[in-house]
Amino acid sequence: MAESSGPHYGNPAPLGLICFGLTTIMLSSINAGLLPPAGMAVVIPLALMFGGTAQVIAGVLEFLSGNTFGQTAFVAYGAFWWWFAVMLIFNSKGVVDLKGAGSSIGVCLLAWGVFSLYMWIATFKLNRALWLIFLTLWITFFLLGFGEIMGSGSLHAAGGYLGIVCALLAMYTSFAGVINTTAGRDVLPLGPFKK
C-alpha cells in the first residue's frame, strides 16, 4: 500500500484572480463611463468583501503553498481594495476630506503602477496570461494616476477601458485554472513561457 504524501489542497489562484477581475471590471466600467458614478454603491461593498477580504484569503493560502508571487499579489491587491473602499467610506462620513487630494491619490496610483510593473517583470518566468494581466494593470495604474494628477478625464477613461481588458484577462485566467484542474488537462491555454 502506497504511503500518502499528505493532504492535497486546491489551487487558490483562480479564487484570487476572480476576486481581482470581477471587482476591477465593475470599477473600471465606472471609470470608463460605461456605468454611472452612482454604481460606486455597488463597488464599495464588493471591494470590501470580494476584492479585498476573499482575495487576501487567497493570498494567505498562496503563502501556505509556498508561492511568493501569488502571496504578494493577492494580499497586496486585496489590501488595495480595502484601502479604496475605506477611503471612500471615510470621505462620505467626514472622517477624511478628499477635496484637493487628487494629486495625492494620483501619486498613490502611480506607486501602485510601479509595484505592478515589478510584478509584471516577475511574470516573465510564469505564463503569458499573467504577463498580459500585469502588463495591462501597470499601464492602467499609470493612466489613472496621471489622469488624477493632470485632471484629465480622457486619461481617466482610457485607464477605465484598459482596466476592463485587464479584468477580463484575470477572469479568463481564473476560468482556465478552474476548468483545467477540473478536466485534469489543459482545456484553456495559459501560454507557458519556454524554460
Mean pLDDT taken over the chain: 95
- Region of residue 6 (phi > 0: left; psi between -120 and 50: alpha; otherwise: beta): left
At 1 the pLDDT is 45
**How many structural domains compose the chain?**
1
pTM over 0.85: yes
Pairwise pLDDT comparison (194 vs 72), residue with the higher score: 72
At 195 the pLDDT is 60
Radius of gyration of the chain (CA): 18
Count other C-beta atoms under 10 Å from residue 100's C-beta. Answer: 7
At 10 the pLDDT is 87
Question: Does residue 192 fall inside a structural domain?
Answer: no
Question: Does residue 187 fall inside a structural domain?
Answer: no
Mean pLDDT of the 37-43 span: 97
Amino acid in position 184: G
Question: Does residue 190 fall inside a structural domain?
Answer: no
Q: Which residues constitute the domain of residue 52?
A: 13-93+100-180
Q: Which residue has the cell 503569458?
A: 128
Question: Does residue 194 fall inside a structural domain?
Answer: no
Count other C-beta atoms under 10 Å from residue 32's C-beta. Answer: 17
Question: Does residue 62 fall inside a structural domain?
Answer: yes
pLDDT band at 7 (very low <50, low <70, confident <90, very high): low
